[in-house]
Structure 1
Amino acid sequence: MKKEFKTESKRLLDMMINSIYTHKEIFLRELISNASDAMDKMYYKELTDDSLTFNKENYYIKVTPNKEKRILKVSDTGIGMTKEELENNLGTIAKSGSLAFKSENEMKDGHDIIGQFGVGFYSAFMVSEDVTVITRPFGSDKGYRWHSEGAEGYTIKECDKDSFGTDIILKIKENTEDENYDEYLEEYKLKSIIKKYSDFISYPIKMDITESKLKEGAEDEYEDVTEEKVINSMVPIWKKNKSQLTDEDYENFYAEKHYGFDKPLKHIHIKADGLVRYNSILFIPENIPFDYYTKEYEKGLELYSNGVLIMNKCQDLLPDYFSFVKGMVDSEDLSLNISREMLQHDRQLKVIAKNIKKKIKSQLEKMLKNERDKYEKFYKSFGRQIKYGVYEEFGANKDFLKDLLMYYSSKEEKMVTLDEYVSRMAEDQKYIYYASGESKERIEKLPQTEMVSEKGYEILYFTDEIDEFTIKMLMSYKDKEFKSVSSGDLGIDSEENENSSEGKDKESKELFEKMKNILDGKVKEVRASKRLKNHLVCLANDGEVSIEMEKILKSMPNNQEVQADKILEINVNHEVFNSLKDAYEKDNDKLKLYTDLLYNQALLIEGLPIDDPIEFSNNISKIMK
């Protein structure tokens, strides 16, 4: 006689089948988790009863597909269910026998019940026309058969079963235009689902696997051989003692989980027993993924609950600036939602994420201190992401990340940290000097570096488009402000040069004013340079937006036409300056020609486009005449 489900209507079951679960393949994870729970209950029973002995070899899960009959069977050798438990747990949607068991008993020795909500079993209806459960409880010689075709109800009958445990038999649906149900009868697909979600269930998950093998004694004749194989790993690496594991073990795990095709530079193995208990293995890759700086890249760690994969990419576990980190977290303290695909609330997750963030930084600092070559490899791949981290969120993380920054040094001719730079600053040096450009080779030739270099001060080379934005957000390091070599005021006292340029600046005030007018708003000022020694001309900038920042902002799609306040600086001690003065006194046309040439020269030095290349070319021809 068919019975109706006790608590909810067809609408509730329809909702669970169609709405709760994101991926249909999760049904197998749920059935395997329930089977694992049944064996954990048996383990607990034998642990608390001196007359019983738990032999783990007798406990396993078996997955058996039958393509011809479209049947998929999931069997376990667990504790089984009584008729009353079938009524209560399978006849009442959203009532969990595992949760009740967990509430009444304290699990020991690392065994913990996975199921909590009592809805996982019903995910089977996502892929099945009907579901049959054949079970025999431990200590009874009676078996029971539970059968349902969906929300209309179910039947329970007595039946024969050779041993205690449970068989769940699914009649897999026929294919539709939108769904391929055949794949849930394919060995390779079932094996991949088991490896993905249930690889670390602590009991063997067995399947009959058919493989083509060379016939014994034959040279080229093959036959299909079916053998029972254990699909899952069972003991997760993260639950083993660190002392038992080698670098090779971690590298193999990295490869098996497809975290990357490279070898990781470093691994971090965390076992936490504080406010939230969790295990974690994290990896710092060596090579940058091809899609890392694209919208397609997804950050996140694999999230497990008691060895069962809950989320493939849990983004909340990693801040964006550490999005390159790969790995997993397993915790028994997570508050999962009804589908076990996400969290109900994130208090525990925030605790874990905060600790992980500190562990990653600590590992990077150790690498920087003790394995400099490895850190520089890492920084070459992911340094830009650290810089973004300093800049993003209005600099909220700048103090946390600043000691991880590195830049190429003019003096050391290698990458250095800000701490290393400051530690060797000259006593009279007021600022941390930097120069921006497309490459270190271009920067080395910049006229603006002359005075700073002559003073013997170290210059940091900024070649990443984010560098100046990062430093503007950082503002200072250990009370030393950052100063561009192109800044209007370098903060360097050079009495001889200053007196010379100031004197000639006064002499040439009218000349510079006229040059400014000729350039018609292209520069804020023309003045005598205090920084140039050998070069004739350069551009300096005044204000917050540098010339390099202007180039970057102009290259963006939403170009706001941001302009740096440019200053054209002339080396009044250069021999060409006399020709400029002579033109001012005698020939206005020649002064205009010289002014345009000098301005365009300065643009070219900065890597900026010339407004009219043809006019520039014609002007050079005029000079050559």
Structure 2
Amino acid sequence: MTTEQREFQAETRQLLDLMVHSIYSNKDSFLRELISNASDALDKLRLESYRDKDLDVDVSDLHIEVDIDKEARTLTIRDNGIGMSRDEVIDLIGTLAKSGTAEVRKKLKEAKDAAASEELIGQFGIGFYSTFMVADKVTLLTRKAGEATATRWESSGEGTYEISDVDGAPQGSSVTLHLKPTDEEDHLYDYASESKIKQLVKKYSDFIAWPIRIDVEKRVKSEEEGAEDTVTIETETINSQKALWTRPKDEVSEEEYKEFYKHVSHAWDEPLEVIPFKAEGTFEYQALLFIPSQAPFDLFMREGKTGVHLYVKRVFIMDDSEELLPEYLRFIKGVVDAQDLSLNVSREILQQDRQIRAIRRRLTRKVLSTIKEMQSEHAEKYQTFWSQFGRALKEGLISDSDNRETLLTVSSFASTNSEEGLTTLAEYVDRMKDGQEQIYYMTGESRQQIESSPHMEAFKARGLEVLLLTDSVDEVWVGNVPDFDGKSFQSISKGEVDLDTEEEKKDAESKREEQGKEFEDLLKWMSETLSEDVKEVRLSSRLTTSPACVVGDEFSFSPQLEKMYKASGQFIPTSKRILELNPTHDLVTGLKKAREDRSDDPSLAETAELLYATALLAEGTELKDPAKFSRLLADRLTRTV
């Protein structure tokens, strides 16, 4: 047997160091992680035996064993499930096969208390490493179903691990923990105690569908006087194996729901909301879904896992079944147990299955109604939900037209009405001014950037509320949603803005006509001077203090949306926008007078370029030629010194 010593990735070494030398509030969690992994391995083996009839495996007695050696102080969790190949061991345990490793290390270091650190461990999918909280050394022996050679992996969590091939090992996996010594203060964590292990299995893993067995000593008192009692070894099953989703809600404790959520999601946070669901009739199925309280780190990563687990008559079929819920609800965890599907169902079949589509529609409506109820009755829970998953939920405004009204109703947005809180669209509409027919909004990279934008000036002056949309998805959905409650959405940075009342319009019209004649030459000259960059130069009705701003046509891309598309590698044709001037600003009136007095002065063209560039900077747009702008500004400042 050849043994090979390898080093962990640098990121993994630092992570292990944090795990080994940190103190966590609940060391017991490691056992739940190992039993959950064993349960998954058994699920996958049974499923593979259905799909591959040539696979030579025995599935007649699938189970999990817990073995304690008190003298050697070892604890072994063993299963006869699918097992792992050598490459899988290296990928899944020898390294962290996920992106985001640097982020988890950073957050673990920043975590202020043990509970926060513990939640992060599960959030980043690294539960296996929790074994090093209680063990000086961990040994894994595993043989994949259908393969002859097993793999042995061992590490003390100090930067290296040993890996070797082994012959004659049983199918499945066993994880042996060489437990750290206990002391008087640490007696609660004696994992070489049968009673302790039984207690933890009952607490964390009672619902596991497979039997969890342990050998216990039974002392039989001798009936003969003076004879010694006999000791026998009996095997006990220490979990009830009752599927939670088959039990009525009033028969399941809150603690049981919490532990099942942690099992099915491989997370360490607690569920924000539990959603049991039972459908009878044409299609019979049961579901037990959870809204997490914390978003996983890979929620917005392409490789992130999505979807819930699919069972057929309590037989595991697949995890991360994307077909059962729309992508924007990918944060939902749980199980769906259908009665009428084939055990040989594949992902391709699921995409076409009529029953799956019906289940998807009903589950989506159930989740959204739960969020709506949370919004109206549990404000604190809703705020937690929205802070974690609001950005993902808003993706549904683009892709799910059937549920768009509900999604609009349960969405919340920052607005100029409040410095900190969020508002719903219904609340916005209730506060609308008399005669206001549109929901005003502006998109941008931050609240501060939007609020300081010149486009906001007229709206602030009139006390008109504006939604402040700073998520990247906001750039897309506002162009796909026509209205809410009969009120259309209007960007304050696109198209013409007419905020005048009917009475004001009469005076404004004659004033604009007069200003139009007064500034006609300046507007024509600036349009020609800046023709390479702007579509038109016109007077503005939205500015009160800034000299100029740049606006788009009603259906043009915003600068942020253009930036998003370009960052993703998509070609976006360059579009010219409109430069609007404030006819009451000293810089604009001064430029008009200078044009009248010295129209052949070449420095006036530089002033026009600077005016346009400052308008771009004010809205957060990058300049096409920042070096030229810097040179022109420096030259202009030099003349004033």
Give TM-score scaled by structure 2 length: 0.64
Distance 1:209 1:517 in 2: 92
**Compared CA separation, residues 515 and 178, structure 1 to 2 (3 A):** farther
Question: 1:512 maps to what in 2?
Answer: 523
Distance 1:537 1:558 in 2: 32
**Compared CA separation, residues 538 and 18, structure 1 to 2 (3 A):** same
Gaps of 5+ in 1: 1-15, 34-60, 66-71, 75-125, 129-171, 211-224
Question: 2:12 maps to what in 1?
Answer: none
Distance 1:18 1:309 in 2: 12
Question: 2:477 maps to what in 1?
Answer: 470
The alignment status of 1:21 with 2:52, answered yes or no, reads yes
Counting only pairs closer than 5 Å after superposition, residues 173-212 of structure 1 correspond to structure 2 as 173-175=148-150, 182=169, 184=171, 186-188=173-175, 204=211, 206=213, 208=215
TM-fit CA distance, 1:525: 0.8
The alignment status of 1:268 with 2:281, answered yes or no, reads no
C-alpha contact 1:279 1:330 (8 A) present in aligned 2: yes
Counting only pairs closer than 5 Å after superposition, residues 115-130 of structure 1 correspond to structure 2 as 127=145
Distance 2:348 2:530 in 1: 64
The alignment status of 1:430 with 2:437, answered yes or no, reads yes
Question: 2:411 maps to what in 1?
Answer: 405
TM-fit CA distance, 1:561: 3.1
**Compared CA separation, residues 17 and 541, structure 1 to 2 (3 A):** closer
The alignment status of 1:380 with 2:387, answered yes or no, reads yes
**Compared CA separation, residues 526 and 340, structure 1 to 2 (3 A):** closer
Pick the aligned partner of 2:632 from 608, 614, 619: 619
Question: 1:574 maps to what in 2?
Answer: 585
Counting only pairs closer than 5 Å after superposition, residues 387-398 of structure 1 correspond to structure 2 as 387-392=394-399, 395=401, 397-398=403-404
The alignment status of 1:285 with 2:285, answered yes or no, reads no
Tell me the SS of whatever aligns to 1:265. strand
The alignment status of 1:248 with 2:255, answered yes or no, reads yes
Question: 2:340 maps to what in 1?
Answer: 333
**Compared CA separation, residues 487 and 364, structure 1 to 2 (3 A):** same
**Compared CA separation, residues 374 and 563, structure 1 to 2 (3 A):** farther
Distance 2:365 2:325 in 1: 11
Identical-pair percentage = 33
Q: Which amino acid aligns with 1:623?
A: R
Counting only pairs closer than 5 Å after superposition, residues 485-504 of structure 1 correspond to structure 2 as 485-493=492-500, 494-495=504-505, 496=507, 499-504=510-515
Pick the aligned partner of 1:481 from 480, 488, 500: 488
**Compared CA separation, residues 208 and 499, structure 1 to 2 (3 A):** farther
TM-fit CA distance, 1:499: 4.0
Distance 1:296 1:344 in 2: 20
Q: Which amino acid aligns with 1:562?
A: P
**Compared CA separation, residues 373 and 339, structure 1 to 2 (3 A):** closer
**Compared CA separation, residues 64 and 547, structure 1 to 2 (3 A):** closer
Distance 1:339 1:424 in 2: 51
Tell me the SS of whatever aligns to 2:383. helix
C-alpha contact 2:66 2:212 (8 A) present in aligned 1: no
**Compared CA separation, residues 333 and 227, structure 1 to 2 (3 A):** same
C-alpha contact 2:454 2:619 (8 A) present in aligned 1: no
Tell me the SS of whatever aligns to 1:291. coil
Pick the aligned partner of 2:464 from 433, 457, 464: 457
Distance 1:340 1:293 in 2: 22
Task: Give the total of aligned pairs.
Answer: 462
TM-fit CA distance, 1:263: 1.5
TM-fit CA distance, 1:372: 2.0
Distance 2:304 2:48 in 1: 30
Question: 2:619 maps to what in 1?
Answer: 606
Distance 2:546 2:53 in 1: 66
C-alpha contact 1:20 1:338 (8 A) present in aligned 2: no
Tell me the SS of whatever aligns to 1:474. coil
TM-fit CA distance, 1:203: 8.5
Distance 1:463 1:338 in 2: 42
**Compared CA separation, residues 342 and 541, structure 1 to 2 (3 A):** closer
C-alpha contact 1:505 1:528 (8 A) present in aligned 2: yes
Pick the aligned partner of 1:317 from 306, 317, 324: 324
C-alpha contact 1:63 1:207 (8 A) present in aligned 2: yes
TM-fit CA distance, 1:509: 1.3
Pick the aligned partner of 1:555 from 550, 553, 566: 566
Tell me the SS of whatever aligns to 1:514. helix
C-alpha contact 1:127 1:181 (8 A) present in aligned 2: no
**Compared CA separation, residues 514 and 338, structure 1 to 2 (3 A):** closer
Distance 1:401 1:315 in 2: 20
Report which stretch shifted further, 466-475 or 372-381: 372-381
TM-fit CA distance, 1:578: 2.6
TM-fit CA distance, 1:450: 1.4
> Quick one: higher RCO (CA 8 Å, sep 6+), 1 or 2?
2
Q: Which amino acid aligns with 1:184?
A: Q
Pick the aligned partner of 2:555 from 544, 556, 567: 544
TM-fit CA distance, 1:521: 2.5
**Compared CA separation, residues 547 and 204, structure 1 to 2 (3 A):** closer
**Compared CA separation, residues 504 and 460, structure 1 to 2 (3 A):** same
TM-fit CA distance, 1:579: 1.7
Q: Which amino acid aligns with 1:508?
A: F
**Compared CA separation, residues 303 and 226, structure 1 to 2 (3 A):** farther
TM-fit CA distance, 1:127: 4.6
Gaps of 5+ in 2: 1-46, 68-78, 82-143, 152-163, 177-196, 218-231
Distance 2:454 2:208 in 1: 66
Tell me the SS of whatever aligns to 2:524. helix
Question: 2:60 maps to what in 1?
Answer: 31
Q: Which amino acid aligns with 1:21?
A: D
Q: Which amino acid aligns with 1:567?
A: I
Pick the aligned partner of 2:602 from 571, 585, 589: 589
**Residues 83-115 of structure 1: per-residue CA shift (max 9 Å, x gap):** xxxxxxxxxxxxxxxxxxxxxxxxxxxxxxxxx
C-alpha contact 1:542 1:565 (8 A) present in aligned 2: no
TM-fit CA distance, 1:590: 2.5
Q: Which amino acid aligns with 2:60?
A: L
Tell me the SS of whatever aligns to 1:542. coil
TM-fit CA distance, 1:556: 2.4
Distance 1:366 1:402 in 2: 14
TM-fit CA distance, 1:32: 3.9
C-alpha contact 1:497 1:530 (8 A) present in aligned 2: no
Distance 1:475 1:392 in 2: 14
Q: Looking at CA atoms only, which structure, 1 or 2, has the larger radius of gyration?
A: 1
Give TM-score scaled by structure 1 length: 0.66
Q: Which amino acid aligns with 2:623?
A: I
TM-fit CA distance, 1:331: 3.1
Q: Which amino acid aligns with 1:577?
A: V
TM-fit CA distance, 1:514: 1.0
**Compared CA separation, residues 380 and 600, structure 1 to 2 (3 A):** same
The alignment status of 1:534 with 2:541, answered yes or no, reads no
Distance 2:167 2:573 in 1: 54
